[in-house]
């Protein structure tokens, strides 16, 4: 399965999953857990991330966060690289700590925000780290206890979450706890783990602005949301379409560009570096290889230059891309 680009933009809600390499422990003791939480809190305090839910387990962790202006990849690099380095120093080990860096799923806030908060916070109970909901209420290594007021994490977005249950904190916490309790019989809930809807859409591979990080999973699990949400993301993030241009032979393209720039096709041969001829070669190379998507070798032969020189000229021609594409539209 090919790897897809990580999806991100300012203000996007993400379910982030971290796993230890070969399912090994990433938290060996409370000192490790406290270090990780402090680093996460620092990102939240700085406004880099808004943290709605989190849960630490021995060999993995879950976060539900909303990005600010800083890309998620930069925030996670800061968090995980810093934590892994400190972990290795504390435990006198070397090498990678996390598997595949991390997995992130873009989430549609409605109706999934509260569902995911409950799902994430029930992880320690499902995994047997705690034995009951009462024990989970006091478990210090998830955001559940913070929402109930049993521990203080000033950086966690508790007000925003509790406001969805009631306007007064006491009643909001009671309603939230009842909501979490009702989720226990629902089990692992694979429908909340992303994927499915995005598989039918083919536009993501072309989103050049989102090529910061790449990761590989079974299936494509980058979006959790309705069909309308996925389609809206596709429209928003897809690159602008190029204007439709005719498929035309090389000699016609060369003649048209030369006529527009006041030179002749014959003058392009011989490698002259006169400014007008260089500019014509750049326009032709850019339009032929990058706009029309044709191979550079036939153009190299037609111009009497090396194939590598075609691509170098196309790169220089990119500086006047708009002008050259308007010129191409004039070909009928």
In this structure, what CATH number is given to the domain that contains residue 296?
A: 1.10.1750.10
Contact call for residues 21 and 98 (beta carbons, < 8 A): yes
Residue 323 has pLDDT above 50, yes or no: yes
Residue pLDDT, tens place only, 21-33: 888 999 999 999 9
Question: Alpha carbon of 309 to those of 75, 125, 200, 258, 265: distances in Å?
Answer: 40, 63, 40, 19, 17
Query: Is the domain of 130 the same as that of 28?
Result: yes
Which residue, of 237, 259, 294, is where some domain finishes?
237
pLDDT band at 132 (very low <50, low <70, confident <90, very high): very high
Query: Is the domain of 213 the same as that of 262?
Result: no
Query: Is the domain of 172 the same as that of 299?
Result: no
Query: Is the domain of 187 the same as that of 320?
Result: no
CATH number for 148: 3.30.70.1290
Query: Is the domain of 176 the same as that of 265?
Result: no
Query: Is the domain of 258 the same as that of 231?
Result: no
Query: Is the domain of 201 the same as that of 263?
Result: no
183: CB partners within 8 A, 6+ apart: 118, 119, 122
In a domain, 308, yes or no: yes
pLDDT band at 106 (very low <50, low <70, confident <90, very high): confident
Q: How many domains does the chain have?
A: 2
In a domain, 212, yes or no: yes
In a domain, 245, yes or no: no
Pick from 4-18, 98-112, 313-327: least confident: 4-18
Residue pLDDT, tens place only, 243-288: 555 567 888 888 889 888 888 888 887 667 788 888 988 999 888 8
* Highest mean predicted confidence (pLDDT) among 48-62, 105-119, 199-213: 48-62
Query: Is the domain of 228 the same as that of 188?
Result: yes
In a domain, 79, yes or no: yes
Query: Is the domain of 191 the same as that of 89?
Result: yes
Query: Is the domain of 143 the same as that of 268?
Result: no
In a domain, 109, yes or no: yes
Predicted pLDDT of residue 265: 87
Which residue, of 237, 262, 279, is where some domain finishes?
237
- Which domain covers residue 8, as residue numbers? 4-237
**102, burial (CB in 10 Å: exposed 0-12, middle 13-18, buried 19+):** buried
Query: Is the domain of 73 the same as that of 175?
Result: yes
Query: Is the domain of 275 the same as that of 319?
Result: yes
Which residue, of 237, 263, 292, is where some domain finishes?
237
In a domain, 243, yes or no: no
């Amino acid at each position: 399965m090919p790897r897809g680009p990580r999806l991100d933009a300012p203000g996007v809600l993400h379910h982030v999953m971290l796993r230890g390499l070969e399912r090994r422990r990433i938290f060996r003791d409370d000192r490790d857990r406290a270090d990780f939480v402090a680093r996460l809190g620092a990102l939240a305090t700085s406004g880099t991330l808004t943290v709605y839910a989190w849960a630490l387990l021995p060999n993995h962790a879950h976060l539900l966060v909303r990005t600010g202006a800083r890309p998620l990849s930069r925030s996670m690099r800061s968090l995980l690289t810093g934590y892994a380095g400190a972990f290795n120093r504390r435990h006198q080990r070397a090498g990678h700590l996390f598997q595949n860096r991390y997995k992130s799923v873009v989430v549609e806030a409605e109706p999934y925000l509260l569902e995911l908060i409950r799902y994430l916070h029930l992880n320690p109970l499902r995994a047997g780290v705690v034995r009951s909901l009462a024990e989970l209420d006091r478990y210090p290594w998830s955001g559940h206890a913070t929402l109930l007021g049993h521990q203080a994490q000033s950086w966690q977005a508790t007000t925003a979450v509790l406001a969805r249950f009631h306007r007064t904190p006491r009643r909001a916490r009671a309603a939230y706890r009842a909501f979490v309790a009702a989720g226990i019989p629902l089990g692992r809930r694979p429908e909340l783990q992303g994927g499915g809807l995005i598989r039918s859409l083919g536009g993501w591979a072309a989103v050049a602005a989102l090529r910061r990080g790449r990761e590989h999973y079974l299936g494509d699990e980058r979006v959790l949301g309705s069909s309308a949400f996925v389609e809206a993301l596709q429209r928003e993030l897809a690159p602008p379409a190029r204007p439709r241009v005719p498929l035309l032979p090389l000699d016609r393209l060369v003649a048209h560009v030369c006529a527009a720039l006041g030179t002749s096709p014959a003058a392009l041969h011989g490698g002259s570096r006169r400014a007008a001829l260089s500019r014509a070669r750049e326009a032709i190379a850019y339009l032929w290889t990058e706009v029309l998507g044709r191979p550079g070798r036939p153009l190299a032969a037609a111009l009497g230059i090396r194939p590598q020189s075609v691509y170098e000229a196309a790169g220089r021609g990119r500086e006047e891309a708009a002008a050259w594409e308007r010129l191409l539209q004039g070909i009928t």
